[in-house]
């Protein structure tokens, strides 16, 4: 086989960008935290960009110079093998010479390099095409994302504290997003680029358009931001942050990454990769890399190392820029570092005069650390490292069980250790410019380990903290405890509550440096504990304690697995907080009744006054076995107690009557008046429209004048599917409305900060109101694109579900489920925390208000399965034959006889009824199987639903509320209770008087709900049923707006169709499709209404006839080449097939032809179609 080579035209001279010299300048200030296993040989570091700077490249270049052969090249050496050809004399010429490490000061096992007086420098010259403007443009977008990320993190932290600080910080972050996006869009036109290609031009347009759109979305979030919806706005802003991070990635990086290698002897043992854009220099601050010209902390890891394993920590100064800008590389270095006298760039920096600092590490507590023992707990201690000093805390008793030993050497298993310890580091030398220390302080590394009596400690996580710097001329400010995230590689591993002070020592008045006179405390001797000799936290740092009452609701245990091969028979729940514990009763038989009979218990404990500093709650489930043995079944850590704090309610006014125009707009699940998630919530003062609307994105929908009603179809022709398709159309219209809102721009760039709080908000509200006033010809329902639990906080309004874990690493730092391998069961209950002084005014436990009886109950469950979408193929032909299986306990129903062949988006239209009993069968499983003629059927995916929380929730998720009340027809009321009965029951449960029905209003307590006339049925009814319809319609409108009740309101679940994801147990986290369905739950002691018919509409079979005239066949390709055999003669025979049918109509053969023929005739045929 021969390969043909074609000559191409030479590239034009200006096709490529001109090559420029680039300089990578590095200064090594500190090398510490070196692994002892790598400290047996001399340590040196290699810094390279591409091939430039690599040891092999420099040695090869040196050998070529010596031998005088330009074409000779040095041998390539593998990264992890020894370089046998390196001579000691040559190693010194490679930049950073090798040095033997020394142990760090203190009790840590780490090593460091002695770089106290001399700081080695490295210069790496390389030559590349100058497309640095690509990275500079990405740096602009990246800095917008970084500012937004920092603001969101601070807003989330401030949410734990009461007050408006979180809302203020969130508003500031959104304003920075809008301003940064606007600045980028304005500067994009003036940015000069050299030799851009087509992708560069397209990317530039994409960035301008995307940043413009993100600015508009940021304004939308800013308009609706209120103190009560900060959490929801943070979640929406994180989506904008994800878009920014995606846009900041440069698809054509012009420069390779910077590599830093650590060599032990002649072996490469650890490395780190630094993107070139992070250290790229630019004269424009926004275009400069985030770490350019700064001393950054760099953690080196070994290739293929476990997550979180660090071999060394470097304090490294990096600068990358054009060679003609090389003079700027030393402008950011500290002025007291004097270069050695030499021509050109320095090879090392020297320091003779030092400024000394003292670090005070106030370690209070860690929360939710990883479990390292088989019991699911740990014995944590911390190692604090800064510069070349390291100190260790003691293994402090925490919140747990299994006490071992006595005295100061007490080891108590816990996931939330309370250290309450002060570590002092003296005589610290901090590198960097003195005026930049407060903005860029050196990082403090806190490594948390699990103590093992036999064997080495186990690494649990690492926290990186920035201390507060106090210089000599600065006034002293008392430190406050802060939260630092603990991570083990990419995984969250808890939180650290601590604060760090970096104090510059006064070395002018005395021979030895001393702490400034305004620092508190001056004398640390009173903080020394008499037994251990360690320092405790100062009084102004330790939180102020106060008596609190913790009420505990013990509801029941669910799904407990085996422990040590035996089933759990007599479990008990133990709650521990701040060293105090409260125990539940011991269940007599978990199999017969997993619920507790004594529901409520309480304890009094000393807790910090600040809710965000209160310690976590530890839930331990143990089993009492024979001979007094106790076995741990599982545990759970509740890291934050703020959500269980009793909220004080203000007394409502005597009668609160709303404006008629303001309450005609229905509200969303979170109390919103509009359908748009970016618009403001209820409870804030509304402004009237001050000016006419500037733009009508919905066309004639917003025209003033008489309302135009839709053509009302015949009710007998409508069914449930009519309501479903009308809801889909309404949902599509809402999506289009959101897109129009995003596309509506106030000025040329779509950013107008002046209109945030004024006219623009009024215009958005007017648009929504006008759109809602349109009369609906067909009743609709709510379609959720996610599961119902995600929309209503998993129905944990009063009954919370706490998963129990056992084993190593079963729960992450946020208290969320990490994986199902260590999940051993669930505890259902709740907590309520309030000051002990407030308990005197309560006659009964506050947690018992509104709680139903904890007794077995029988239920009728109706599962409506509408359809499935995007199912995973299960057959070799890429299709599936799906059917539905519903099970709860021992009850199991399926639709195997009615499976749908060869379909990945089947429409089921099935209704399945099950009879269950609580608490024996609390969970419902809905699965989709693939039908096979031979062998067993395969599971495609399944979803699990907690029926108990749905049934008992105050959201009333047992049966959704319809949009309007109808006695019969396609929208007939399908609940077991009428709206007036439901409303009366809600008033009775909340301690309110019975509702008062008026002509066009309903009074519930002190709240008056106005009823729009459009929602009431036409009058004139003579029967008793017809006379009750207006009252039921009024009650229904109150129920759909029940979240407006002051202090007692909560969103009730509307009539809906939820979309539940399907997962396979063998592939957790991998989506196998979605199931569109809903569930109705009725008590067995109440007559249930008939089920809703959701069978799909069957097509009507009709007979048709078709007449297809065929005129000619131009440019017809002959099937065979007969030119060499006979005259080119063919017989043409044509046929026709109708898509979707099996009918095929054949024509008659025609004249011999040469590929182009006029056909005198047509096809006549008939078939049965649908």
Residue 298 CB neighbour total at 10 angstroms: 17
Burial of 335 by CB count in 10 Å (0-12 exposed, 13-18 middle, 19+ buried)? Answer: exposed
Domain count, the chain: 6
Q: In sequence order, what are the beta bridge partners of 548?
A: 605, 835
- Is 7 a residue whose pLDDT tops 90? no
- Average pLDDT on 356-384 reads 87
- Assess if residue 978 is contained within a domain: yes
- Assess if residue 679 is contained within a domain: no
Q: Which of 368-372, 694-698, 1097-1101 has the lowest mean pLDDT?
A: 694-698
Q: Same structural domain for residues 425 and 532?
A: yes
Pairing between β-strand 1056-1064 and β-strand 444-450 as defined by DSSP bridges: unpaired
- Assess if residue 1115 is contained within a domain: no
Pick the more confident residue, 743 or 151: 151
| Structural contact between residues 602 and 549, judged by C-beta atoms closer than 8 angstroms | yes
> Which pLDDT band, with edges at 50, 70 and 90, does 1011 fall under?
confident
Tell me what pLDDT residue 1124 has: 46
CA distance 752 to 222: 12
Nearest 5°: CA angle at 429, between 342 and 366?
Answer: 135
Classify residue 233 as left (phi > 0), alpha (psi -120 to 50) or beta: alpha
Strands, E assignment, 387-467: 389-392, 418-429, 444-450, 458-465
- Is 95 a residue whose pLDDT tops 60? no
- Average pLDDT on 241-256 reads 94
- Is 902 a residue whose pLDDT tops 80? yes
- The CATH number covering residue 1061 comes to 2.60.40.150
Tell me what pLDDT residue 668 has: 40
- For the record, the structure tokens of 112 come out as 């460091």
Tell me what pLDDT residue 193 has: 83
Q: Same structural domain for residues 377 and 521?
A: yes
Dmax over CA atoms of the chain, in Å, equals 119
670 secondary structure, DSSP code: T
Q: Same structural domain for residues 999 and 1045?
A: yes
> Which pLDDT band, with edges at 50, 70 and 90, does 124 fall under?
very high
Distance of CA 193 to CAs 131, 139, 144, Å?
Answer: 8, 15, 21
- Is 916 a residue whose pLDDT tops 70? yes
- Assess if residue 513 is contained within a domain: yes
Tell me what pLDDT residue 563 has: 87
3-class SS of residue 208: helix
User: In sequence order, which residues have a C-beta less than 8 Å from that of residue 659 and are 6 or more positions away?
Assistant: none
- Assess if residue 656 is contained within a domain: no
Pick the more confident residue, 412 or 748: 412
User: In sequence order, which residues have a C-beta less than 8 Å from that of residue 5 and are 6 or more positions away?
Assistant: none
Distance of CA 696 to CAs 249, 693, 707, 1015, Å?
Answer: 37, 7, 17, 26
- Is 1152 a residue whose pLDDT tops 70? no
Tell me what pLDDT residue 249 has: 94
Tell me what pLDDT residue 1021 has: 44
Tell me what pLDDT residue 111 has: 92
Could you give the angle at which helices 1024-1040 and 979-989 cross, rounded to 10 degrees? Answer: 50
Tell me what pLDDT residue 62 has: 55
CA distance 864 to 1055: 12
Q: Based on C-alpha coordinates, what's the Rg of the chain?
A: 37
Q: Same structural domain for residues 111 and 39?
A: yes
HSE-CB of 883 using CA atoms within 13 angstroms: 15
- Average pLDDT on 499-504 reads 95
Share of the chain above pLDDT 90, in %: 47
Tell me what pLDDT residue 828 has: 96
Q: Which of 340-354, 570-584, 919-933, 1111-1125 has the lowest mean pLDDT?
A: 1111-1125
Tell me what pLDDT residue 674 has: 33
Q: Same structural domain for residues 270 and 145?
A: no
* Nearest CA among 1038, 979, 980, 1044 for reference residue 1012: 1038
| Structural contact between residues 1094 and 907, judged by C-beta atoms closer than 8 angstroms | no
Alpha-carbon dihedral angle through residues 1039, 1045, 1047, 1048, given to the nearest 10 degrees:
-20
Which of 476-485, 627-636, 1150-1159 reaches the highest mean pLDDT?
476-485
Q: Same structural domain for residues 953 and 967?
A: no
Tell me what pLDDT residue 77 has: 37
Domain that holds residue 568: 545-647+798-809+820-844
Burial of 772 by CB count in 10 Å (0-12 exposed, 13-18 middle, 19+ buried)? Answer: middle
- The CATH number covering residue 163 comes to 1.20.120
Tell me what pLDDT residue 731 has: 87
Share of the chain above pLDDT 70, in %: 76
CA distance 154 to 166: 8
Per-residue exposure over 814-832, b if at least 16 CB sit within 10 Å of its own CB, e if not: bbeebeeebbbbbbbbbbb
Pairing between β-strand 1135-1137 and β-strand 1144-1146 as defined by DSSP bridges: antiparallel
Q: Same structural domain for residues 567 and 606?
A: yes
- Assess if residue 65 is contained within a domain: no
Q: Same structural domain for residues 526 and 595?
A: no
Pick the more confident residue, 730 or 777: 730
Distance of CA 1105 to CAs 72, 136, 373, 1143, Å?
Answer: 84, 68, 78, 12
Q: Same structural domain for residues 384 and 521?
A: yes
* Nearest CA among 1152, 1156, 1110, 1117 for reference residue 1134: 1110
CA distance 280 to 275: 9
- Is 406 a residue whose pLDDT tops 70? no
Tell me what pLDDT residue 679 has: 30
Q: In sequence order, what are the beta bridge partners of 865?
A: 910, 1077
Which of 523, 542, 561 represents a domain boundary (last residue)? 542
- Is 739 a residue whose pLDDT tops 80? no
> Which pLDDT band, with edges at 50, 70 and 90, does 1117 fall under?
low
Tell me what pLDDT residue 807 has: 72
Q: What is the length of the chain?
A: 1170
8 secondary structure, DSSP code: -
> Which pLDDT band, with edges at 50, 70 and 90, does 1103 fall under?
low
| Structural contact between residues 1002 and 1038, judged by C-beta atoms closer than 8 angstroms | yes
> Which pLDDT band, with edges at 50, 70 and 90, does 712 fall under?
low
- Assess if residue 363 is contained within a domain: yes
- For the record, the structure tokens of 381 come out as 């201690």
> Which pLDDT band, with edges at 50, 70 and 90, does 1149 fall under?
low
- For the record, the structure tokens of 356 come out as 């000394």
Alpha-carbon dihedral angle through residues 803, 809, 814, 815, given to the nearest 10 degrees:
20
Tell me what pLDDT residue 808 has: 65
- For the record, the structure tokens of 429 come out as 């030398």
Which of 481, 511, 542 represents a domain boundary (last residue)? 542
- Is 883 a residue whose pLDDT tops 80? yes
pLDDT tens per residue across span 320-336: 999 999 988 888 888 77
- Is 650 a residue whose pLDDT tops 70? no
- Assess if residue 1107 is contained within a domain: no
pLDDT tens per residue across span 853-872: 889 999 999 999 999 999 99
> Which pLDDT band, with edges at 50, 70 and 90, does 6 fall under?
confident
Tell me what pLDDT residue 240 has: 94
Which of 248, 275, 308 represents a domain boundary (last residue)? 248
Q: Which of 652-656, 896-900, 1035-1039 has the lowest mean pLDDT?
A: 652-656
Q: How many helices (H) and strands (E) does the chain have?
A: 12, 48
- Is 1029 a residue whose pLDDT tops 70? yes
Could you give the angle at which helices 165-188 and 132-158 cross, rounded to 10 degrees? Answer: 170
- Is 725 a residue whose pLDDT tops 90? yes
Tell me what pLDDT residue 4 has: 86
> Which pLDDT band, with edges at 50, 70 and 90, does 226 fall under?
confident
pLDDT tens per residue across span 155-192: 988 888 877 889 999 999 999 999 999 999 988 878 87
Q: Same structural domain for residues 520 and 576?
A: no
Tell me what pLDDT residue 467 has: 95
| Structural contact between residues 693 and 740, judged by C-beta atoms closer than 8 angstroms | no
Tell me what pLDDT residue 805 has: 87
- Average pLDDT on 22-30 reads 93
Instruction: For tokens 């030398």, name the residue.
Output: 429
Pick the more confident residue, 844 or 952: 952
Q: Same structural domain for residues 36 and 161?
A: no
* Nearest CA among 764, 784, 740 for reference residue 680: 764
Q: Same structural domain for residues 209 and 299?
A: no
Tell me what pLDDT residue 1139 has: 53
Distance of CA 453 to CAs 189, 414, 786, Å?
Answer: 65, 16, 48
CA distance 323 to 293: 15
- Average pLDDT on 925-951 reads 95
- Average pLDDT of the chain is 80
> Which pLDDT band, with edges at 50, 70 and 90, does 118 fall under?
confident
């Amino acid at each position: 086989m021969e390969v043909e080579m074609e000559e191409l035209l030479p590239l034009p001279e200006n096709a490529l960008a001109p090559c420029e010299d680039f300089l990578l300048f590095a200064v090594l200030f500190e090398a510490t935290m070196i692994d002892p296993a790598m400290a047996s040989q001399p340590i040196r570091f290699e810094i390279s960009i591409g091939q430039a700077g690599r040891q092999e490249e420099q040695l090869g270049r040196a050998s070529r110079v010596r031998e005088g052969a330009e074409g000779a090249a040095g041998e390539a050496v593998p990264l992890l093998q020894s370089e046998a050809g390196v001579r000691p004399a040559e190693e010194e010429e490679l930049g950073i010479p090798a040095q033997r490490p020394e142990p760090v000061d203190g009790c840590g096992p780490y090593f460091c390099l002695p770089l106290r007086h001399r700081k080695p420098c490295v210069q790496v010259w390389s030559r590349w095409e100058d497309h640095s403007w690509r990275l500079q443009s990405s740096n602009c977008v990246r800095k917008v994302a970084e500012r937004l990320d920092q603001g969101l993190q601070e807003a989330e932290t401030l949410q734990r504290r009461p007050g408006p600080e979180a809302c203020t910080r969130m508003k500031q972050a959104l304003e920075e997003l809008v301003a940064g996006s606007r600045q980028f869009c304005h500067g994009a036109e003036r940015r000069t680029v050299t030799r851009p290609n087509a992708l560069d031009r397209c990317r530039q347009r994409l960035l301008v358009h995307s940043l413009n759109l993100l600015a508009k979305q940021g304004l939308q979030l800013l308009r609706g931001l209120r103190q009560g919806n900060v959490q929801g706005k943070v979640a929406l802003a994180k989506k904008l942050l994800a878009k920014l991070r995606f846009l900041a990635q440069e698809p054509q990086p012009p420069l390779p990454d910077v590599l830093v290698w650590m060599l032990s002897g002649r072996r490469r043992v650890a490395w780190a990769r630094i993107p070139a854009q992070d250290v790229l220099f630019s004269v424009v601050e926004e275009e400069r890399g985030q770490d350019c010209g700064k001393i950054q902390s760099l953690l080196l890891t070994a290739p293929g190392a476990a997550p979180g394993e660090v071999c060394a920590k470097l304090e490294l100064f990096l600068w990358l820029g054009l060679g003609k800008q090389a003079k700027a590389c030393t402008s950011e270095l500290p002025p007291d570092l004097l270069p050695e006298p030499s021509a050109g760039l320095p090879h090392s920096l020297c320091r003779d005069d030092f400024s000394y600092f003292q670090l005070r590490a106030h370690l209070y507590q860690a929360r939710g650390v990883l479990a390292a023992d088989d019991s699911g707990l740990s014995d944590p201690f911390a190692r604090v490292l800064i510069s070349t000093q390291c100190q260790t805390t003691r293994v402090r008793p925490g919140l747990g069980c299994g006490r071992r030993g006595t005295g100061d050497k007490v080891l108590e298993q816990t996931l939330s250790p309370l250290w309450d310890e002060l570590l002092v580091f003296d005589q610290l030398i901090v590198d960097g410019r003195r005026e930049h220390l407060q903005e860029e302080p050196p990082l403090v590394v806190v490594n948390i380990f699990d103590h093992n009596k036999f064997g080495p400690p186990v690494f649990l996580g690492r926290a990186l903290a920035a201390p507060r710097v106090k210089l000599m001329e600065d006034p002293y400010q008392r430190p406050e405890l802060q939260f630092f995230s603990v991570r083990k590689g990419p995984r969250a591993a808890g939180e650290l509550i601590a604060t760090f002070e970096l104090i510059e020592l006064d070395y002018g008045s005395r021979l030895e440096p001393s702490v400034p006179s305004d620092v508190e405390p001056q004398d640390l001797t009173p903080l020394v504990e008499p037994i251990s000799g360690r320092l405790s936290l100062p009084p102004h740092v330790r939180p102020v304690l106060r008596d609190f009452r913790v009420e505990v609701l013990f509801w029941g245990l669910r799904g407990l697995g085996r422990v040590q091969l035996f089933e759990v028979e007599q479990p008990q729940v133990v709650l521990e907080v701040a060293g105090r514990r409260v125990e539940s009763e011991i269940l007599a038989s978990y199999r017969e009744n997993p619920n507790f009979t004594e529901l409520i218990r309480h304890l009094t404990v000393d807790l910090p006054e600040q809710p965000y500093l209160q310690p976590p709650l530890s839930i331990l489930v143990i089993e009492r076995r024979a001979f007094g043995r106790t076995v741990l079944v599982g545990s759970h850590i509740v890291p934050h107690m703020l959500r269980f704090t009793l909220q004080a309610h203000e007394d409502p006014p005597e009668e609160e009557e709303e404006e008629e125009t303001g309450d005609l707009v229905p509200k969303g699940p979170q109390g919103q008046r509009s359908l748009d998630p970016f618009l403001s919530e209820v409870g804030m003062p509304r402004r009237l429209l001050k000016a006419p609307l500037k733009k009508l994105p919905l066309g004639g929908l917003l025209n003033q004048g008489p309302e135009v009603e839709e053509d009302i179809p015949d009710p007998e022709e409508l069914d449930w599917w009519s309501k479903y398709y009308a809801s889909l159309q309404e949902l599509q219209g809402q999506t289009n409305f959101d897109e129009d809102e995003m596309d509506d721009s106030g000025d040329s760039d779509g950013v107008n900060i002046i209109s945030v709080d004024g006219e623009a908000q009024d215009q958005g509200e007017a648009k929504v109101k006008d759109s809602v006033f349109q009369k609906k010809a067909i009743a609709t329902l709510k379609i959720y694109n996610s599961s119902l639990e995600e929309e209503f906080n998993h129905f944990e309004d009063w009954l919370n579900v706490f998963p129990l874990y056992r084993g190593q690493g079963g729960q992450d730092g946020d208290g969320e489920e990490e994986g199902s391998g260590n999940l051993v069961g669930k505890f259902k209950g709740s907590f309520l925390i309030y000051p002990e002084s407030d308990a005197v005014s309560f006659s009964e436990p506050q947690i018992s208000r509104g709680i139903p009886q904890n007794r077995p109950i029988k239920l009728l469950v109706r599962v409506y399965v509408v359809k499935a979408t995007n199912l995973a193929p299960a057959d070799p032909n890429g299709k599936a034959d799906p059917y539905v299986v519903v099970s709860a306990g021992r009850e199991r129903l399926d639709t195997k006889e009615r499976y749908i062949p060869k379909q990945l988006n089947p429409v089921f239209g099935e209704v399945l009824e099950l009879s269950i009993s609580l608490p024996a069968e609390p969970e419902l499983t809905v699965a989709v199987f693939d039908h096979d003629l031979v062998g067993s059927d395969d599971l495609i995916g399944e979803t699990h639903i907690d029926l108990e929380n749905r049934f008992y929730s105050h959201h009333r998720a047992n049966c959704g509320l319809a949009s309007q009340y109808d006695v019969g027809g396609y929208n007939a009321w399908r609940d077991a209770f009428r709206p007036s009965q439901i409303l009366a029951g809600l008033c009775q449960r909340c301690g309110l008087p019975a509702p008062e029905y008026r002509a066009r209003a309903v009074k519930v307590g002190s709240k008056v709900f106005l009823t729009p006339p459009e929602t009431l049925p036409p009058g004139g009814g003579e029967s008793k049923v017809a006379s009750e319809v207006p009252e039921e319609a009024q009650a229904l409108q109150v129920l759909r707006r029940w979240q407006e009740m002051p202090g007692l309101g909560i969103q009730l679940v509307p009539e809906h169709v939820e979309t539940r994801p399907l997962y396979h147990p063998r592939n957790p986290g991998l989506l196998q499709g979605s199931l569109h369905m809903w569930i109705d739950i009725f008590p067995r002691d109440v007559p249930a209404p008939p089920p809703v018919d959701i069978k799909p509409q069957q097509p009507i079979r009709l007979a048709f006839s078709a007449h297809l005239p065929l005129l000619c066949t131009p440019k017809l390709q002959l099937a065979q080449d007969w030119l060499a055999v006979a005259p080119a003669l063919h017989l043409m025979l044509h046929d026709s097939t109708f898509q979707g049918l099996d009918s095929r109509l054949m024509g008659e053969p025609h004249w011999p032809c040469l590929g182009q023929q006029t056909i005198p005739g047509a096809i006549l045929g008939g078939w049965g179609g649908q």
